[in-house]
Amino acid sequence: MTWLVFVLLTVVALASAVMVITQKNPVYSALFLVLNMLSLAGFYVTLGAPVVAAVQVIVYAGAIVVLFLFVVMLLDLRKSIARDRSLGYEGLLAIALGSLFVFTMLLVFWGASPPAGGTVSAVNGTMEQIGKGLFQKWVYPLEVCSVLLLAAIIGVVVLANKEAGQGK
């Protein structure tokens, strides 16, 4: 049955990924991206990582795609739809980086050993375990994380005030 779930998720993920890059309307692309990210969350569940799946839905499918939609709306849509879609050096760069990625993944599949100190399957990814780890062993990185988020908030506010032309 896990096999069936895997096949269904794979079909949805691949089909939605193809739709993301073939849709003419960027808003539709963003919506298919949501579908793609949700199916990835399904993969995380089948791999026994429910926290990663939850974060995938909350942060990526929720917030990040909202951000993408805002970027799409900030740009002039009609211009970008009408624009010539031929690829220049960006296409070559994309092919090069994509080939590198496929090559790396093939290395992983054909028996590259996991990095030192880590095993592939021994991670206990339940919500409880991650909560315990975060707030006992990794407390200082967590607090540093909050400072990082604070820096991001202040950065956004400062940059936005500059763009809006009011230096209050």
Positions in the binding site for another protein (CB under 8 A): 1-2, 5, 45, 50-51, 54-55, 58-59, 62-64, 66-67, 70-71, 73-78, 127-132, 134-136, 139, 142-143, 145-147, 149-150, 152-154, 156-157, 160-161, 163-164, 166, 168
CB of 96 to another protein, least distance (A): 30
Q: Find out whether 30 and 80 touch, Cβ atoms under 8 Å.
A: no
In angstroms, what is the minimal distance from the CB of 33 to another protein? 15
In the complex, minimum distance from the CB of residue 78 to another protein, in angstroms, rounded to a whole number: 7
Q: Is 34 exposed, middle or buried (0-12, 13-18, 19+ CB in 10 A)?
A: buried
Nearer to another protein, 20 or 42 (CB): 42
Residue 111 C-beta-side C-alpha neighbours within 13 Å: 0
**Smallest separation (angstroms) from another protein to the CB of 77:** 5
Nearer to another protein, 17 or 55 (CB): 55
Q: How far is the CB of 3 from another protein (least distance, A)?
A: 9
One-letter amino acid at 105 equals: M
Tokens coding 2: 């896990």
Name the nearest CA neighbour of 27 among 63, 59, 60, 74: 74
User: 77 or 87, CB closer to another protein?
Assistant: 77
**C-alpha to C-alpha distance for 78 and 88, rounded to whole angstroms:** 21
Cα 54–chain centre separation: 13
Residue 24 vs 101, nearer CB to another protein: 24
